[in-house]
Structure 1
Amino acid sequence: MQRVAIARWPFYVACLVLGIAIFASAMPTRANETIQRQIDQKNEEIKRLEEEARAYEAARLTAEQEAKSLQGQIKSIDASLQRIAANSRVTNAKISRTRLEIQALGGNIAATETIIAENRERLAALVVAIEKAERETPLAAFLKYDSLATMFAAADELGRLEGELAGRIHELRADRDRLRAQQTDARAKEADLQSLAGELADQTTLQSVQRSSRTTLLTETRNQEQRYQELLAEIERKRASLEKEIDTLEASLKPFDPLLVPAARPGILTWPMAGPIVVTQQFGYTAFARSGAYNGNGHNGIDLRAPVGTAIFAAEDGVVRAVGDTDLGCRRASYGKWVLIDHPNNLSTLYAHLSLIKVSPGQAVSRGDTIGLAGATGYATGPHLHFTVFARGSVEVIDYRSRVCGRMMTLPISNAYLDPRDYLNSL
């Protein structure tokens, strides 16, 4: 009876090893079930908040159509404030979800490492047992078991268990590496979301500025539609006068060599904001341009629909040549806050009507880097991005005292405006 028990001990070892592994793997599973329920709840919350944000954006777009009236402008500002607040809640919920995902992955990694360590110890014990069996003389081995068949079966079982556990350790190592990669991805995702939360903090600051603008607007108009229309007329008069001054300055620039700019080809530049992209005004002699908006000139760029606070990206690698704010010299008459970037391919790009500038002159940027946030500074009937492409050698950044406003401003001028759509991918 003792020899039979000795012959069967490898099976008891197997049961012990596998039982511990199964028990250890069950613990994180139960913990992760709880975390997964919390993640599912966050997903539902995010879905609800995203629907809320979309509703506020729809309301903002509707109000934007009425922005030529005083009440329409106020509605547009209020709807924009609500949209930003809703987007902030979405981002915070996503950050909470990511932290839960990281917590679950951390539990899985710890449990897997524990299982690997336990299996290594048992594997070492099995190796020692096999080595001890190999050192036994045939006579000792024969006396230990009741038959040669039992002796060889015990040795074979030890070898089988050693191979089985080695395979399991290999699998668990792969699981651990996979889980660590997932944890790295989740932490990167959290970093992205934290960055987005920072952007939303910027946008919240901008909304505070808009609230101030709202107050200023009501003060200037005394909440009267007639006074608002008079204000718009005065803005239009200043814009037209400044436009003529700039035309004169640009006419004095030396001609540029068209052979220095790259041939038109999609993909030379990337779209300067995330989709969906909506072009609200094309380049050149558009209907709005033909209405006299640019003193008989064509539209020198393209306009993209962009709610206040939308991240604006560099269209290509390059160096920021200059930034500025024409509102400091002539309020609501030109580009407002703008960024000019020079690119190695002999193009320069301009991003105008920004609400916030995120770069500085001399700074190197890569394609897709955030350089600012969209807005409605300068001459803008509503929030959007004005995107212009120049031949790089044709652009000059000047400090100019406007006759119509009487104050200094910094702005880029050129006599070589190019159609951005020639260098962008088709929508």
Structure 2
Amino acid sequence: MIDHDDHRRIRIRRRMAFDRETRRWQEETHRMRLAVAACCLGMVLAMLMAFAGPAGRALAREESSGCRSLMDWPVAEPAVIAEFEGPPQPWMSGHRGIDLTAPVGTILLAPADGTITFTGTVAGKAVVSLRTGASTLTFEPADTDLGIGAAVRRGQPFAVAAEGSDHCDGRCVHWGVRRGATDYIDPRSQVTDRRIALKPIRSPS
């Protein structure tokens, strides 16, 4: 026989399930609205390209790429378990990247177009580095069958998570982003969509 407390627990569970579904629906609705907005923007940019001449076409190409993040996450289902903590000075200690949940064997995807610049062992850990534009992306522990100089495209599998992490062995991969020799930046800043801003069309002088 179900007593009053059991009924109360059932109602609470049902309410929690309803709230989860409501949030999921709201998120899906938000994504759909963003998709519609992106589609409308694409139509506007297509019109610019059709009627604004060479300057307009160049501007449209520039702005159409502005709604996409600079990079993609290197794992299919990103879950950050340790955040970026940049050092106060380049030579001081800190967490120069983020740790993502990635059991051994997890496929790593190239966050951006680039070139493999390093594969090997550093301080007992397998490391793979990818050069893209002005940035060097480092993944550890990670293994790859690709050689140095191999070109990879955004979203292409290029390595797998390996064993040998010094703080989450077998459970995560560390992703670092460096500009120059010592300027480490938060990888999260690279996977955030950039603001779209249409600028006035300027005729070529």
TM-score normalised according to structure 2 size: 0.55
- Aligned residue number for residue 192 of structure 1: none
Matches for 1:255-404 after TM superposition, within 5 Å: 267-275=69-77, 277-284=78-85, 297-326=93-122, 330-331=123-124, 336-344=125-133, 346-354=134-142, 356-382=143-169, 383-391=171-179, 393-394=180-181
User: 2: distance between equivalents of 1:367 and 1:350?
Assistant: 15
User: 2: distance between equivalents of 1:365 and 1:422?
Assistant: 21
CA 1:301–1:313 in structure 2 vs 1: closer, same or farther (change >3 Å)? same
What SS is found at the alignment partner of 1:421? helix
CA drift of 1:425 comes to 3.1
User: 1: distance between equivalents of 2:165 and 2:82?
Assistant: 17
The one-letter code of the counterpart of 2:189 is D
Describe the superposition over 1:377-425 as per-residue Cα deviations: whole angstroms up to 9, x where unpaired. 242333211000111x32xxxxxxxxxxxxxxxxxxxx11111111113
List gaps (5 residues or longer) in structure 2. Answer: 1-66, 194-205
The one-letter code of the counterpart of 2:188 is R
User: 1: distance between equivalents of 2:72 and 2:148?
Assistant: 21
CA drift of 1:322 comes to 1.4
User: 2: distance between equivalents of 1:307 and 1:340?
Assistant: 19
CA drift of 1:266 comes to 6.5
Equivalent pair of 1:312/1:372 in contact (CA under 8 Å): yes
CA drift of 1:296 comes to 5.8
- Superposed CA RMSD: 2.3
List gaps (5 residues or longer) in structure 1. Answer: 1-264, 290-294, 395-414
Larger strand percent: 2
User: 2: distance between equivalents of 1:377 and 1:367?
Assistant: 26
- Aligned residue number for residue 406 of structure 1: none
Describe the superposition over 1:151-188 as per-residue Cα deviations: whole angstroms up to 9, x where unpaired. xxxxxxxxxxxxxxxxxxxxxxxxxxxxxxxxxxxxxx
State percent identity of aligned pairs. 28
CA drift of 1:375 comes to 2.5
- Aligned residue number for residue 188 of structure 2: 421
What SS is found at the alignment partner of 2:104? coil
User: 2: distance between equivalents of 1:325 and 1:348?
Assistant: 17
Number of paired residues? 123
The one-letter code of the counterpart of 1:283 is F
Describe the superposition over 1:55-104 as per-residue Cα deviations: whole angstroms up to 9, x where unpaired. xxxxxxxxxxxxxxxxxxxxxxxxxxxxxxxxxxxxxxxxxxxxxxxxxx
CA 1:347–1:296 in structure 2 vs 1: closer, same or farther (change >3 Å)? closer
Matches for 1:240-259 after TM superposition, within 5 Å: none
Show structure 1 runs of 4+ deviating over 3 A. none
User: 1: distance between equivalents of 2:149 and 2:117?
Assistant: 6
Higher relative contact order (CA 8 A, sep 6+): 2
User: 2: distance between equivalents of 1:421 and 1:309?
Assistant: 23
Equivalent pair of 1:279/1:305 in contact (CA under 8 Å): yes
Equivalent pair of 1:318/1:342 in contact (CA under 8 Å): yes
CA drift of 1:363 comes to 0.4
User: 2: distance between equivalents of 1:376 and 1:300?
Assistant: 20
Describe the superposition over 1:96-115 as per-residue Cα deviations: whole angstroms up to 9, x where unpaired. xxxxxxxxxxxxxxxxxxxx
User: 2: distance between equivalents of 1:375 and 1:425?
Assistant: 27
Specify the structure having the higher radius of gyration (Cα): 1
The one-letter code of the counterpart of 2:127 is W
CA 1:375–1:271 in structure 2 vs 1: closer, same or farther (change >3 Å)? same
Larger helix percent: 1
TM-score normalised according to structure 1 size: 0.27
- Aligned residue number for residue 24 of structure 2: none
User: 2: distance between equivalents of 1:266 and 1:325?
Assistant: 34
Equivalent pair of 1:269/1:315 in contact (CA under 8 Å): yes
The one-letter code of the counterpart of 1:280 is I
Matches for 1:28-47 after TM superposition, within 5 Å: none
